[in-house]
Amino acid sequence: MTQLKPAKYTIIKQYICEKIESGQWLEHSKVPSENELTEQFSVSRMTARRALQELTEQGLLVRSQGSGTFVATFKSQSSLLEIRNIADEIQDRGHQHHATQLALQAIDVNEEVAILLALKAGDKAYFSSVLHFENDAAIQLEQRFVNPKLVPNYLAQDYTKITPHEYLSSEAPLTEATHEVEAILASADICELLSITNTTPCLQVKRRTWSSQGVVSLAILTAPGNKYRLGSHLVF
């Protein structure tokens, strides 16, 4: 037996999580105050407070003395590990960024992608391919494979203007991500897109994202010369 009786503060946490995950409480919207939760759940203020506090530490909420508690934007959750958005990175260097969408369609996944997306070989997945430019020079190819069960409306968007965390978090709040980084030589067609020779070392980042429902997406970034900065509280 694991838990005969869940703690009261966990019940409140769960309640708030569900409201946010289901989309009933949107980003920036105000969540009930400590006193309101106190009444609603018939608990003491310190118990209600603990629920809000822990969700704030998890990054789901932000609190502000005097004004209230609010649903965090996805961005404010990302303090743990931040791989910077390519557009922001380029603009910080004082350069121009634009992107071109090369593909947006449903495809049959190959074996490797099927495994990484937790699908069966031959299953359908949504696929998009976006090429990013810095001052009109192609610098990064972004290929995304998206689980159609979890993001059914994926094919309706323009992903040159929407960053991954925007489209993903609006459909299913992401709970986890892993990144796998490798140095590779790109295939001939990708070299052509990026205007590089087949001897140019490229950084390849495979990023997988999860929601509570399962694997949401696999993104493969291929970029010559780029630096990725990772910050964290801890090491190794």
Partner DNA sequence: CACTTTAACTTGTATATACAATCTCATCTT
Partner DNA sequence: AAGATGAGATTGTATATACAAGTTAAAGTG
For DNA, the binding residues (CB under 7 A) are 4-5, 7-10, 33-36, 42-47, 49, 52-53, 63-69
Tell me: does residue 157 bind a second copy (CB under 8 A). Answer: no
Binders of a second copy among residues 206 to 235 (CB under 8 A) are 207, 209, 223-235
Q: What is the dihedral of CA 78, 82, 87, 90, to 10 degrees?
A: 140
Beta carbon of residue 64, minimum distance to DNA (angstroms, whole number): 6
Beta carbon of residue 159, minimum distance to a second copy (angstroms, whole number): 14
CB 46 within 8 A of CB 1: no
Tell me: does residue 162 bind a second copy (CB under 8 A). Answer: no
Stated as kind and residue range, the H or E segment containing 69 is strand 68-71
Chain-centre distance of CA 53, in angstroms? 23
Contact pick of 181, 187, 195, 214 for a second copy (by CB under 8 A):
181
> Considering only CA atoms, which of 131, 130, 133, 135 is closest in space to residue 94?
135
Tell me: does residue 5 bind a second copy (CB under 8 A). Answer: no
Return the one option of a second copy, DNA, none that residue 180 interacts with (CB less than 5 to 8 A, by type): a second copy
Amino acid (1-letter code) at residue 84: R
C-beta of 72 vs 223, nearer to DNA: 72
Distance CA 75, CA 63 (A): 15
Tell me: does residue 190 bind a second copy (CB under 8 A). Answer: no
What count of other Cβ atoms lies within 10 Å of the Cβ of residue 61? 22
Q: In this structure, what token pair is assigned to residue 166?
A: 């925007």
Contact pick of 10, 40, 58, 91 for a second copy (by CB under 8 A):
58
Binders of a second copy among residues 72 to 101 (CB under 8 A) are 74, 77-83, 85
Beta carbon of residue 135, minimum distance to DNA (angstroms, whole number): 40
Distance CA 13, CA 106 (A): 37
Return the one option of DNA, a second copy, none that residue 65 interacts with (CB less than 5 to 8 A, by type): DNA
Q: What is the dihedral of CA 94, 208, 178, 92, to 10 degrees?
A: 0
Residues in contact with a second copy by the rule CB under 8 A: 57-59, 74, 77-83, 85, 163-165, 174-185, 199, 201-204, 207, 209, 223-236
